[in-house]
Structure formats: structure tokens, C-alpha cells
Amino acid sequence: MYQQAVKDSIRDWIGPGYIGSFYDAYAEGARKLFWKQMEDHLYPLGIDAWWMDASEPNVRDCTDLAYRKALCGPDCSRSVRPIFQCVCVDECLRLFMTDNVP
């Protein structure tokens, strides 16, 4: 998980505002954990498809590039991260749903 937003106590816009950040989609272990949380908490509810919203980390708008990199990783200005996240979910979902995939 990117740590700068936690260190700076940046709150999101949900309810009272929670301190948190985005996970590092380039780290294989983080991608596996991301999938495991979906598998454990969404799939049992009958959810078997996801809109991959927030695939690009955006902790805070209107920040200079140096601070954005500290918040969201060094590639914050490119759109490569969503590929890692979506491929992970696609591959894991195909393995998990072997009986349900045509």
C-alpha cells in the first residue's frame, strides 16, 4: 500500500472521512490480496462481475507531480497500473470460476 497518504492523514470523502490509500498493483502479493478480498467478501454474496472503478489511484486532486508520485507511486502520470489490476482480476476470476465459464 502506498504510505504517504496515511503519513499525511489524508481523509477520503466517505462519511466522516477515512484515512487510507491505494494498494501497489505492481506488487504481486498486493494483487493477490486484492483478489482474495474480492473472492472472500463479494463472491459469496453472488457478485461475480465487477466494474473496475478506481483502477488508477487518485488520493488527492490538484497536487503537483512530485507529491502525486509520493501519494500514488512513480508512474502516477501514466495509465499502466490498471492493466496490472484488471489482468489480475481476470486471471483469478477465470481460475476461480472454472465451472461457470463457458
State how far the Cα of 39 lies from the Cα of 47, in Å rounded to an integer.
9
% pLDDT > 70, the chain: 87
pLDDT tier for residue 100 given thresholds of 50, 70 and 90? low
List pLDDT tens digits, range 21-30.
888 888 999 9
Q: Are 86 and 55 in contact (CB under 8 A)?
A: yes
pTM of the model: 0.72
